[in-house]
Structure 1
Amino acid sequence: MTTGPKHPGDIDPAAEDPAPMGEDLAALLTRLLEEAGRTQKELATEAGIKYPTLNAWLNRTRGTSRIDPDDLRAMVNTLRLWHVAVTPAQMFRAAGRKVPGPTDEEREQRLLRIYRELPTDSQRALIQTAEAMRSASRAR
Structure 2
Amino acid sequence: MDAEAGAVGAGEDLSSLIRRALAEAGLNQTWLARETGIPLPTINAWVNRTRGTDGRIDPDRLRAIAGALPGVTVAEVFESAGRRAPGDLDAEREKKLLRLYRSLPTTQQRILIEQAELLARTARAS
TM-score, normalised to structure 2, is 0.90
What residue ranges of structure 1 are gaps of 5+ in the alignment?
1-16
Q: Secondary structure in 1 aligned to 2:63?
A: helix
State the Cα deviation string for residues 74-116 of structure 1 (Å, max 9, x = none): 111112xxxx211111100000011111121111100001111
State the Cα deviation string for residues 52-92 of structure 1 (Å, max 9, x = none): 1111111111111111111111111112xxxx211111100
Q: 2:71 aligns with which of 85, 91, 110?
A: 85
Partner Cα separation in structure 2 for residue 61 and residue 116 of structure 1: 41
Match of residue 55 from structure 1 = 44
Match of residue 109 from structure 1 = 95
Match of residue 38 from structure 1 = 27
Partner Cα separation in structure 1 for residue 125 and residue 61 of structure 2: 20
Match of residue 97 from structure 1 = 83
Residue 131 of structure 1 pairs with residue 120 of structure 2: no
Partner Cα separation in structure 1 for residue 72 and residue 84 of structure 2: 16
What residue ranges of structure 2 are gaps of 5+ in the alignment?
1-5
State the Cα deviation string for residues 12-51 of structure 1 (Å, max 9, x = none): xxxxx81110100001100111011111011011111111
More helix by share: 2
Considering Cα pairs closer than 8 Å and 6+ residues apart, tell me whether 1 or 2 has the greater RCO: 1
Q: 1:24 aligns with which of 13, 24, 27?
A: 13
Q: Which runs of 4+ in 1 moved over 3 A?
A: none
- Superposition RMSD on alpha carbons, in Å? 1.2
Match of residue 3 from structure 2 = none
Match of residue 14 from structure 1 = none
